[in-house]
């Protein structure tokens, strides 16, 4: 069926053009962050929520995707177009003076390609990491994935300097002269990959979010989603019913890594963000886990709501300055005490008794 895909596209366009006219840059970037966080939370939910495996290295995939995407948009751009500058159209980037730009400036297709590269590299790595480690259970898997994120962080830290203009030569010239194989290793080390063209816009962030939600929902409501959930419920019984548990865990893991990679590409290309090794660290992974647990493990709408809340809450609390993080932490603690299953538990928003009753009432009841 095509219409949900069309709906996702329309949604992203509405958010993009609507948001751009209504919001000032600060809120526009916040809205971009919400889109990225929805993508991250919903994708991690496929592993931690659907199959019940506890992955703690999601940020590792985020970083890998971000760097892979950045290599394409920076070095790739220099090789293909002969310029590291952004090729802007109406659908790309956050600056608000867009009058006179073409609707599709060429950069859109290029960025889409870069995002897919980011996603695929992350997915490939997800497969390599997932295949051996998903045979482990519970705590062991958590430790392995945590270690994976740290390895990614350290490896990126060891990378060489970004090739920038200097010594009287332009960046394009230097990139042309550098051997091809050195380019993926020149991503800035601990200083970060900071001079990427900032392609990410409301359109791309929310298109990715909508696509992730769509894929997650269709999976969950299909026989494959039920196979995922059966692993979470009882692995022995799932296996006895013919579910190849290892294969399905790896599938969920790879799919989640793909979307995390796409989200990473979006994140690294957001205005004001300097992609750095810290983004692969456990701090970032925990942020994503918080969203998934807060929303309710297994609930897609819960992950969406939690991604929005977790993005906005620290911003709202800016008014109380130094107490901000204390209040944020306390809110999370209280929520876990009074609602340990998360905001929505395993259910979706439209399955909640309250909403059902309300919707049933509106239809005239049954």
Partner 1 sequence: MGNALAPEVDGREAGRNVSGAVLDISGVCKSFGGLKAVQSFSLRLGPGDLQGLIGPNGAGKTTCFNLLTGVYRPDAGSITLCGTQIVGMRPNSIARCGMSRTFQNIRLFGDLSVLDNVRVGGHLRVRHSMFSAILRSAGSRASEAAMRRRAMSLLTFFGLADRADEVARNLPYGDQRKLEIARALATEPTVLLLDEPAAGMNSGEKVALRDMIRRVRDEFKVTVLLIEHDMGLVMDICERITVLDYGETIAAGTPAEVQANPKVIEAYLGAEEGVHA
Residue 182 interacting with partner 1 (CB under 8 A) = no
Q: Which of 83, 158, 222, 283 is close enough to bind partner 1 by CB under 8 A? A: 222
Counting contacts by CB under 8 A, is residue 249 touching partner 1?
Answer: no
- Decide: is 131 part of the binding site for partner 1 (CB under 8 A): no
**How near is the Cβ of 122 to partner 1 at its closest, in Å?**
18
Question: Out of 21, 223, 322, 364, which residue is the one contacting partner 1 (CB under 8 A)?
Answer: 223
Q: Distance (Å, rounded) from C-alpha 320 to C-alpha 316?
A: 9
Binds partner 1 (CB under 8 A): choice among 169, 218, 356, 357: 218
215 is an interface residue for partner 1 by CB under 8 A: yes
Instruction: Report the alpha-carbon distance of residue 236 to residue 74 in Å, rounded.
Output: 48
Smallest CA-to-CA distance from 225 within 203, 246, 202, 251 is with: 251
Shortest CB 221 distance to partner 1, Å: 9
Q: Is residue 350 part of the contact set for partner 1 (CB under 8 A)?
A: no
Among 7, 96, 161, 233, which residue sits at the site for partner 1 (rule: CB under 8 A)?
Answer: 233
The CB-of-191 to partner 1 minimum distance in angstroms stands at 39
Q: Which is nearer to partner 1, 243 or 304 (CB)?
A: 243
Determine if 236 is a binding residue for partner 1 (CB under 8 A): yes
Q: In whole angstroms, how close is the CB of 246 to partner 1 at the nearest point?
A: 8
> Measuring CA to CA, how many Å separate 254 from each of 125, 320, 323?
8, 41, 39
Quote the radius of gyration of the chain (alpha carbons, Å): 21
- With binding defined as CB under 8 A, does residue 226 bind partner 1? yes
Q: Which stretch binds partner 1 (CB under 8 A): 66-74, 87-95, 139-147, 239-247?
A: 239-247
245 sits near partner 1 (criterion: CB under 8 A): yes
Q: If binding is defined by CB under 8 A, does position 254 make contact with partner 1?
A: no
The Cα 272–Cα 266 span in angstroms is: 12
Applying CB under 8 A, the span of 164-172, 237-245, 318-326, 331-339 interacting with partner 1 comes to: 237-245
CB atoms within 10 A of CB 151: 14
Tell me the C-alpha distance between 278 and 276, whole Å: 5
From 29, 68, 238, 304, residue interacting with partner 1 (rule: CB under 8 A): 238
Q: Does 337 bind partner 1 (CB under 8 A)?
A: no
Q: Is 346 in the site for partner 1 (CB under 8 A)?
A: yes
Helix axes 202-220, 107-133, angle to 10 degrees: 40
Considering only 175, 219, 256, 289, the residue that binds partner 1 (CB under 8 A) is 219
Query: Judged by CB under 8 A, does residue 243 bind partner 1?
Result: yes
C-beta of 217: minimal distance to partner 1 in Å?
Answer: 10
Among residues 180 and 236, whose Cβ is nearest to partner 1? 236
The verdict on 239 binding partner 1 (CB under 8 A) reads yes
Residues lying near partner 1 in the complex (CB under 8 A) = 1, 215, 218-219, 222-224, 226-227, 229-230, 233-234, 236-245, 251, 346
């Amino acid at each position: 069926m095509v219409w949900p895909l069309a709906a996702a596209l329309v949604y992203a366009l509405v958010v993009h053009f609507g948001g751009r006219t209504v919001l000032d840059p600060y809120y526009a970037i916040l809205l971009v962050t919400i889109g990225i966080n929805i993508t991250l939370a919903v994708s991690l939910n496929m592993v931690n929520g659907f199959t019940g495996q506890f992955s703690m290295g999601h940020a590792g995939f985020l970083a890998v995707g971000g760097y892979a995407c950045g290599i394409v948009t920076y070095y790739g751009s220099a090789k293909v177009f002969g310029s590291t500058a952004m090729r802007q159209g109406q659908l790309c980037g956050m600056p608000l003076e867009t009058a006179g730009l073409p609707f599709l400036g060429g950069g859109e297709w290029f960025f889409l390609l870069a995002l897919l590269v980011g996603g695929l590299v992350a997915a490939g790595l997800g497969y390599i990491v997932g295949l051996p480690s998903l045979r482990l259970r519970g705590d062991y898997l958590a430790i392995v994935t945590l270690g994976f994120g740290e390895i990614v962080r350290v490896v990126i830290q060891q990378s060489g300097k970004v090739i920038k203009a200097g010594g009287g030569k332009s960046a394009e010239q230097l990139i042309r002269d550098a051997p091809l194989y050195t380019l993926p290793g020149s991503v800035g080390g601990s200083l970060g990959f900071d001079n990427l063209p900032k392609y990410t816009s409301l359109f791309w962030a929310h298109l990715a979010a909508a696509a992730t939600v769509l894929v997650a929902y269709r999976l969950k409501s299909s026989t494959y989603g039920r196979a995922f959930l059966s692993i979470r419920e009882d692995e022995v019984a799932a296996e006895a019913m013919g579910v190849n548990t290892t294969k399905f865990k790896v599938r969920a893991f790879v799919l989640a890594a793909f979307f995390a990679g796409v989200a990473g590409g979006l994140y690294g290309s957001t205005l004001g963000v300097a992609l750095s090794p810290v983004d692969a660290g456990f701090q970032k992974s925990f942020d994503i886990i918080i969203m998934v647990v807060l929303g309710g493990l297994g609930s897609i709408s819960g992950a969406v709501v939690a991604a929005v809340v977790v993005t906005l809450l620290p911003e709202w609390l800016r008014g109380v300055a130094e107490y901000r993080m204390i209040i944020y932490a306390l809110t999370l603690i209280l929520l876990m005490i009074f609602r340990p299953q998360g905001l929505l538990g395993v259910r979706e928003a439209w399955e909640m008794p309250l909403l059902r009753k309300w919707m049933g009432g509106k239809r005239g009841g049954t």
